[in-house]
């Protein structure tokens, strides 16, 4: 029972970490709402698969089956994590709506508890934000 509860706690933490990053703020700054929604849906689908476990998860004889289901969940999480990193790379490298908004977003995500790989990826995006800021300055300079 303790192992199953630990797995459920881990599932909740993982879901919370993804939802914290795949937020409306990220969609507003990057303009990638549909891509972000697609990844959020994949996270939800994995949680639904676990929630749909047909047997009583607390019966010892069902633990091996639960363990397989949970390992499949973790495997899917790794795949979703890689997809999220790719989404971040794509949107920050050329689809930013505003350098100021992107910087604020990165700054806000410093306090958000998220997946370590995703947090590391956000740390590398300050250069992209500065590049966007430079482009905005050049554009403003040419207007004036």
pTM over 0.85: no
Which residue bears the tokens 């303790």?
A: 2
Q: In the chain, which stretches have pLDDT less than 70?
A: 29-30, 94-96
DSSP for 21-82, written as a single string: HSSHHHHHHHS-HHHHHHHHHHHHHHHHHHHT--S-TTSGGGHHHHHHHHHHHHHHHHHHHH
Tens digits of residue pLDDT in 66-106 = 999 999 999 999 999 999 888 888 777 766 677 887 788 78
């Amino acid at each position: 029972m303790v192992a199953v509860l630990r797995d459920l706690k881990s599932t909740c933490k993982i879901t919370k970490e993804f939802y914290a990053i795949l937020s409306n703020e990220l969609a507003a700054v990057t303009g990638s709402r549909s891509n972000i929604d697609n990844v959020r849906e994949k996270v939800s689908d994995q949680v639904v698969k676990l929630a749909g476990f047909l047997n009583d998860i607390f019966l010892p004889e069902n633990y091996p089956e639960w363990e397989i289901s949970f390992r499949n969940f973790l495997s899917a999480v790794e795949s979703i994590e890689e997809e999220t990193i790719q989404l971040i790379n794509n949107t920050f490298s050329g689809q930013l709506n505003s350098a100021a908004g992107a910087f604020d977003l990165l700054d806000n995500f410093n306090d958000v508890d998220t997946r370590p790989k995703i947090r590391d990826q956000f740390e590398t995006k300050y250069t992209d934000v500065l590049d966007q800021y430079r482009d905005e300055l050049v554009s403003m300079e040419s207007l004036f």
